[in-house]
Structure 1
Amino acid sequence: MKYLFTKQLWALALILLLFSCENGDDERPLGKYDSGILLMNEGAFGANDGEVFHFDPASGTLTQNIFETENNRPFAGLLEDMVLEEDRLYLVANTGKVEIVNPGDFKSIGAVIGDLDQPRSLATARGKLFISDYGPYDASFRTPDSYVAVVSGLDGGMVKKKIEVSNKPEDLFASGKYVFVAGSEEKKVEIIDADTETVTKTLEVSGKPVQFFEQRGDLWVYSYDRENVYFQSFHRDNLTKKNFLQVPIANATSRIALGEDDRIYILTSTGWPDYKDGIAVTSIFDSTLIPSWKAGSGFYGIGFDKARQEIYVANSKGFQGNGEVIVYRKDGSVVKTLEVGRGPSGFLVR
């Protein structure tokens, strides 16, 4: 009887253990930077003082210089892009490196340092890193040797190969085994096969292609020139062009944000010497067109918090000291103004 009772206790314990395992939460706990908004400060040329701030909209807390705080060293570069892929956050510096951090705690987990020139953005495919790079300037300050660098591991390392592409590649987008490259200067979208590490197809597009995005299941590239903006989608199965839209928005820049109801917010600027800046709003799927939703000077980056339906606008203040970020409601009223770092230029909403 005692033996039977002992067996029953062991069986009950085993059942409880299995039940607890099946109903346990296997997800890792959120880190302190896994929610909120990351603010990218490009930094000033020569000072190489790019950094990332973290803003918690719920509490209103702004935390400065989180890379330096968590790694006990400055970022030491001009921060060009932040890319969140494969549970890693890639900080792309156009001064020749990529820092890789854990997105939850911002601790460094790797880097790509050396054999890069002016990296612009990054994508991951087939367990590799693909990094767009202008390449070195020649004597006339042109970039005839632009490339996409390939690194074998997701945690960084050495550049194993440079794939020649058209001048001044900007954004990258990975879809399956293909990496789409926005070739801004020569109006091309080049498609790299991540397995063979070669350009497998080149498509001509209108305007200056700079940014890929997805809406309603389709992949689009945003392009612009002095008079218009352009949106071109692609068939991902056969790598051909799909739908095209031209919208009359003058003085557009490369900075866009995807907003509510498929709206797209676009920074505009007349450039030197007046720098009359603005924000236009349009949509691919309806007739929305607001050429001047906001006007000002010094606009340098834009983002959108879909959870709170708020627009974040970065102002560089002419790189004369620190910049600021103004948070707007959809009706244009101001929610908050934040003093940030040098050259605020982008946002990553977690």
Structure 2
Amino acid sequence: MRNRLTEMFGIDVPIFAFTHKPEVAIEVTNAGGMGALAASYYQPDELERILTDMDEKTRGRPYCIDVLFANKVGDVVPMSERLKALPKGHLDFVEKILDDAGIPPLPPEVEAELLRDKPPGRGHTEEGILEVLEVVVKHKQARFVLSAMGAPPAHVVETLHSRGIKVGAMAGSAEHALKHVQAGVDLVVAQGSEAGGHTGTISSMVLWPEVVDAVAPIPVLAAGGVGSGRHIAAAFALGAEGVWCGTIWLGAVESELSPDMRKKFIAARSQDAIQRKYDTGKPLRVLRSKWTDAWDAPGAPEPLPLPAQKLLVIPALKRLELANAVDYMGYMSGQIVGRIKKEQTIREIVEDMKAEFQQAMDRLGR
């Protein structure tokens, strides 16, 4: 698996692991790949503590920070203004879902914490991301920053380059990839529609070679439906030089999912990962649940745009989590979820990928 990307970052294998859990990023990094921590939602002091811990536990190995430069973001409204800012019909609809499910209200201390958090959507704005990057540049092991929702501004790319940090961006089309190149990125992540989270509409098999051809000679990471060594071999065959994967780590014991949610992911089929706008206002692939079913039902309102939809649903999703209402809980999930068949450690998943990749390459060689 050694190539330009392993040389660029000084890593053993070009496996990049997107995660919301620092422990997952640490484990993949220590297994020879590169953990990529989603950092846009952290408060600066919280992120400083997390990255200091990651520095210590990764023992000099480089890791990645994932941020969300969204091209279009509506007005960011603090949680304290939620009831005034949102349509009453939408508020009533969400409350009815929770009432019908018997979900208790938020405890006062949790409600107070939500009020102290960043306003929903701030993590998608340039101002919010620059707060994150002010912390990131203090940590020498944070060698790679990826923009996951849009082209990073050229001046941000220049600033990161001046600090020795490589910059990448995620693309759902060749046109998007070319915009990233114009901004000065060092590599592009071509994310097919099978991926979890925010995605475009072009499948990986079509997208990967299109982006490779469009941005050559800039290296490309393949994302969307990656969860095994065979997928890595296929990505290489289509011109990519590494892979970016997220969903496959959710079955690990170190993941952010509760034991009950991990069981739900292990039982899920590929077709249970559906693309909807109900959690953020932008197309987001999540695991189907009674929550998504309620929004799919006749008479349900249309989701609001980003960030208003996030402002609407964040308290509801927190209530579902605290009640452990697994039937109503989804979480971001790609179609590769159907491959998660058992609970494993991160190290075991990485080793399985490496072994299967070697088997696939041997088979192709014959």
TM-score by length of 2: 0.29
Which of the pair is proportionally richer in helix? 2
Larger Rg: 1
Which of the pair is proportionally richer in strand? 1
Higher relative contact order, structure no. (Cα contacts within 8 Å, ≥ 6 residues apart): 2
